[in-house]
Amino acid sequence: MYDSWKPGTVVCLMYRETEWPVGQTAPYQIKLDDTESLIYAPMDRNECIRRGPQAAEKQRDATPVTNPLELMKQRNTAMHSAASVARGREFTPRPMDVFIVTYPKCGTTWMTQVCHQVRTTRYLKGLLRANGKTTAEINAAFARAGPPTSDTQKDTAWSMRFGEITEVVPWDILASDCGQDLDAAQCINSPVLGKCSLSPRLFKSHETVGNIAPGGKYVCVVRDPADVFKSFFEFLPPYMGIPSGVITPEEFCDAIFAGASHSGDVWGHFRGWWDMGVDDDCEQSSMLFKNASDGDRNVFITSFEDMKNDLPTLVRRVGAFMKTEDDSGDLSEHDVTSVCEMCDFKFMRRNSEKFDDHFVRREMWRRIQIPEHEWAGGGVGKVREGGGGVGGGGDLPESVREKIDEKWAEVMKPRGFPSYQDFRAAIEARNVRWDQK
């Protein structure tokens, strides 16, 4: 209809027409300046809609936000489009899809690597079974080869043939912004094996129970809220282009308590996912578990501390939880050792560019308008030197500790967990069942 750009004004967000399928929306409805007719932009990308000269001029003339805390909150709010968020929450997962649904800074990247290594290990064994090998023969062959132990073996492993892990484990609410199709296969290209379509599909998410796309399987990692707070405080400001140290722990605490995080609060996140794993009666549970069978639960919860204390047991449990109908047998001891080698902190730190979010940050930089040259070293990594600690939250200011403890007493104590350690103990008691799978 139009062969050139037309100026207009956005009049509606998340626009939809009555005849469209359920869940389909357009990010913007626009009134054209010349004819006053209404059109819509089918996607929030530069080839469809872009800021016009007048809008850019108004932005230049506007008073810039200089308060670091307000700038952090403003940028964090703008990091993904409304259309991409809606797509991530409304798409229909496959029954065996696995979502890593952690609150930020609870071990998301680490658990994502664990799940990815479990599925790639099983993929290779599946190829051998398809060629007539028995499970015993496959396990014996893998045992003879031994786990990858040298830096070269691990760095060149076929399972690591991606630029950044969100390329093969999409972030649900950012995927559309990054040009990823949530319905597509997740593949790795191997020079020997060719294009490998991996199963189950994996998705990174920080969504709450109330916002997650229902119908898949869900892995949740919890962590001491004090350690979560400290890690989040050290991570989020630099991630949003704010220099370290210009926001105090007290200011950051007040902002998080006031809803500065897209993921809500850590206590509600924990309680929501715990309740979904044990309560079959509520409406949300019936939606979330609509693909469950024989009373099996579709939520696996573990703690960051238990991952640190006993990674092999965690890998076995994740393997049992992720098992698909096409998988034959549990992970062998060789498999568990191999996965642990590929999830070792030193290995992930040495390959930190594969775990630093640069794939999604490119789009985020554009949305929150941070010039790329201002990000020293490309921003902050997810596998940081000194990161991943346990008990580090103990050196927080006393006022911050008190607020964290008060919130725990308000949200988690009525649920039967006087302390975080009580919550961890309940999780471990529940997880013993996976040792018999």
Over residues 190-222, the pLDDT tens digits come to 887 788 899 999 999 999 998 999 999 999 999
What is the predicted pLDDT for the residue at 285?
43
Strands 299-303 and 217-222: parallel
Q: What is the mean pLDDT of the chain?
A: 81
Quickly state the pLDDT bin for 241 (edges 50, 70, 90): confident
Residue 90 φ then ψ, to 5° = -110, -10
**What is the number of residues in the chain?**
437
Contact 171, 205 (CB under 8 A): yes
CB burial of residue 418 (10 Å; 0-12, 13-18, 19+): exposed
pLDDT digits (tens, 9 = 90+) for 152-193: 888 788 899 999 999 999 999 999 999 999 999 999 988 877
Beta partners for 10? 30
Report the alpha-carbon distance of residue 244 to residue 278 in Å, rounded. 40
Global pTM value:
0.79
Report the alpha-carbon distance of residue 35 to residue 226 in Å, rounded. 57
Single-letter code of the amino acid located at 121: T
Report the alpha-carbon distance of residue 188 to residue 185 in Å, rounded. 10
What is the predicted pLDDT for the residue at 417?
95
Give the residue with greater pLDDT, 264 vs 81: 81
Quickly state the pLDDT bin for 242 (edges 50, 70, 90): confident
What is the predicted pLDDT for the residue at 323?
86
Query: Among 55-64, 139-148, 306-315, which is the least confidently predicted range?
Result: 55-64
Beta partners for 202? 98
Q: Is 203 helix (H, G, I), strand (E, B) or coil?
A: strand
Give the residue with greater pLDDT, 110 vs 20: 110
Quickly state the pLDDT bin for 50 (edges 50, 70, 90): confident
Strands 186-190 and 98-101: unpaired
Residue 215 φ then ψ, to 5° = 115, 0
- Planar angle of CA 11, 16, 18, nearest 5 degrees: 130
Q: Span 64-85, mean pLDDT? A: 81
Q: Looking at domain 84-436, does it have CATH number 3.40.50.300?
A: yes
pLDDT digits (tens, 9 = 90+) for 127-137: 877 777 777 77
Give the residue with greater pLDDT, 259 vs 190: 190
Is the pLDDT confidence value at 22 over 50?
Answer: no
What is the predicted pLDDT for the residue at 318?
95
Quickly state the pLDDT bin for 434 (edges 50, 70, 90): confident
Quickly state the pLDDT bin for 286 (edges 50, 70, 90): very low
What is the predicted pLDDT for the residue at 411?
92
Is the pLDDT confidence value at 378 over 50?
Answer: no
Supply 244's token pair: 């370290």
Q: What's 197's DSSP letter?
A: E
Is the pLDDT confidence value at 292 over 50?
Answer: no
What is the predicted pLDDT for the residue at 300?
93
Q: Could you tell me the residue ranges of all domains in the chain?
A: 8-62, 84-436
Cα distances (Å, whole numbers) of residue 115 to 165, 171, 336, 342, 415: 11, 14, 12, 11, 29
Using alpha carbons, select from 81, 30, 20 the residue that is nearest to residue 52.
30
Cα distances (Å, whole numbers) of residue 424 to 221, 270, 304, 346, 406: 11, 11, 10, 26, 18
Report the alpha-carbon distance of residue 294 to residue 189 in Å, rounded. 36
What is the predicted pLDDT for the residue at 289?
47
Contact 214, 283 (CB under 8 A): no
The separation between the first and the last C-alpha atoms of the chain, rounded to the nearest angstrom, is 60
Contact 28, 40 (CB under 8 A): yes
Is the pLDDT confidence value at 299 over 60?
Answer: yes
Neighbouring CB atoms inside 10 A of 257's CB total 13
Contact 354, 171 (CB under 8 A): no
Report the alpha-carbon distance of residue 158 to residue 189 in Å, rounded. 8
- Planar angle of CA 375, 82, 111, nearest 5 degrees: 60
